[in-house]
Amino acid sequence: MEAVVAKEFSRNKIHPRKFALWVACASIMMMFAAFTSAIIVRQAAGNWLEFRLPDIFYFNTIVILLSSITLHSSYLAFKRGNTNLYRGMLAATFFLGLTFLVLQYQGWQTLTDIGVALNTNPSGSFVYVVSGVHAAHILGGVGVLVVAMLHAFLLPHKVTAARKLRFELTLTYWHFVDFLWIYLLSFFTLLY
């Protein structure tokens, strides 16, 4: 693929790969916008089971916010040449990402325990499905982090243009799924 990504690119302010990622994020955003619009419309129609979102969802918010911070500081350390911080913060992000997924799963279990099962009422079903689709995006992000860790731990620490670009792509995506969670949580909080 590198091959055809020829010289034309050097003239651009933003790397096409990065631009493509932004476009993909816009597309993912539309998918979630569809979900949240569906929630609004459905809630307005009545027969809407009200329940309080388990606290674990809020706790999880802290986890994911924290992971954005750790990844960002890993990126800064990468650029500065601070290898230990770079590797350490990257690993921390990876574990925070995994923690998010585990807590998310526990959140669903708590929901079921308080009597809001997947198929009890659409209000609850939406929480499961929408947060589940979000978790799938986190899972994808965790996969990307694994690749980033392989780079960080197996290769000597060199700040090349290609590696910087790859890191920036990872970073952008991770911040994006983080933002996505805040967006979804605000709906879950306001409409339930």
118 binds another protein (CB under 8 A): yes
CA atoms within 13 A on the CB side of 86: 23
Residue 77's nearest CA partner among 69, 126, 3, 189 is 69
Q: Please say which residue, 35 or 94, places its beta carbon nearer to another protein.
A: 35
Q: Binding residue for another protein (CB under 8 A) from 55, 70, 76, 122?
A: 122
Q: Binding residue for another protein (CB under 8 A) from 6, 154, 161, 162?
A: 6
Residue 181's nearest CA partner among 145, 143, 133 is 133
Q: Binding residue for another protein (CB under 8 A) from 66, 91, 101, 129?
A: 129
Q: Please say which residue, 85 or 191, places its beta carbon nearer to another protein.
A: 191
Type of residue at 162: A
Compute φ and ψ for 109, nearest 5 degrees: -65, -40
In the numeric block, the tokens 């918010």 are attached to 61
Structure token digits, residue 90: 């990257």
- Chain contacts with another protein (rule: CB under 8 A): 1-9, 11-12, 14, 16-17, 19-20, 23-24, 26-28, 30-35, 37-38, 41-42, 45, 47-48, 118-119, 121-122, 125-126, 129, 133
